[in-house]
Structure 1
């Protein structure tokens, strides 16, 4: 899995790309929280839930359907999330977690298609180093993971944010 802060980068970059008139700063922060939330499934280890179980790590909570359900619940109870754009943004924010996990070189893959299929999926290419957990993070491997994430996630997200910002700025100057 990528590091917790890297998961949050994707929705923040998307929010910058589309602008605060479509995705408010509050919505962007909630999107960043949702992007991190799927890894709460590691709590299942303490309750005897095996990694490979559908509710184990990288299981159901990493799926696109689970992301859409969470976004729908938020849209139902939070006024700021009651638009198609907000729903789509929140769904994409949370779904980005599982999608990023499929790009890592470790673990079992992510159950992106749950509840229709519990198969753990990896992307055809897995360029992102899987993050070491706990005390092992502060190590040479942890540093290598951060460099991998900077190259494969942070840099593309920065480009997406800057291009979106630039397009919006250019469109304003043409009007």
Structure 2
């Protein structure tokens, strides 16, 4: 899995693309949905094994869970998230889906149960450039943790920051390009 620091990056890029149409509350919801699937590691403390359907990268890393979080966004958008129901669904679903994709692009673990409950198979992408993150803060602060962070900078943050920069640049040019000069007389 990528670290908790990198899972929000696609949501930040999406918010930049969408400009002012995403409220800060909606963005926060997206960031929370992007990191929420990894809360499944709590199951280790209760004896749930990694490979179990409710273990790490199981149910919470499925499109069914992405749909569930989309429905949460749909239901809470007008009251809590300050946005449309469709936007709430879109943000919740895409945030979890981006988490699934990033985890499937790592070079370790058991893969993601993307099609749970219909298929218990754990899947990876054919291209897996992201180094899998170790569990625990001590391991993250090791040499291996540094290699993971550098991998995430290259394969997650750099593309997302490029999208953010492009979105901001286009928006700035678009604003300049739409100004009208007063008619000359």
TM-score range for the pair, normalised by the shorter chain length:
over 0.9
- Counterpart check, 1:166 vs 2:169: yes
The structure whose RCO (Cα within 8 Å, separation 6+) is larger is 1
Q: TM-score, normalised by structure 2?
A: 0.88
Equivalent residue pairs, number:
174
Distance 1:81 1:64, change over 3 A: farther
Aligned residue in 2 for 1:36: 35
The Cα offsets for residues 129-160 of structure 1, whole Å up to 9 and x where unpaired, read as 11111111111100000000000000000111
Report the RMSD for the aligned CA atoms in angstroms.
1.4
Aligned residue in 1 for 2:160: 157
Structure 2 unmatched ranges of 5 or more: 179-185
| Residues 11-90 of structure 1 aligned to structure 2 (within 5 Å) | 11-20=11-20, 22-79=21-78, 80-90=82-92
Q: Aligned to 1:17, what secondary structure does the other structure show?
A: helix
| Alpha-carbon distance in structure 1 between the residues aligned to 2:12 and 2:120 | 29
The alpha carbon displacement at 1:123 in A equals 0.5
Structure 1 unmatched ranges of 5 or more: none
| Alpha-carbon distance in structure 2 between the residues aligned to 1:91 and 1:81 | 15
Larger Rg: 1 or 2? 2
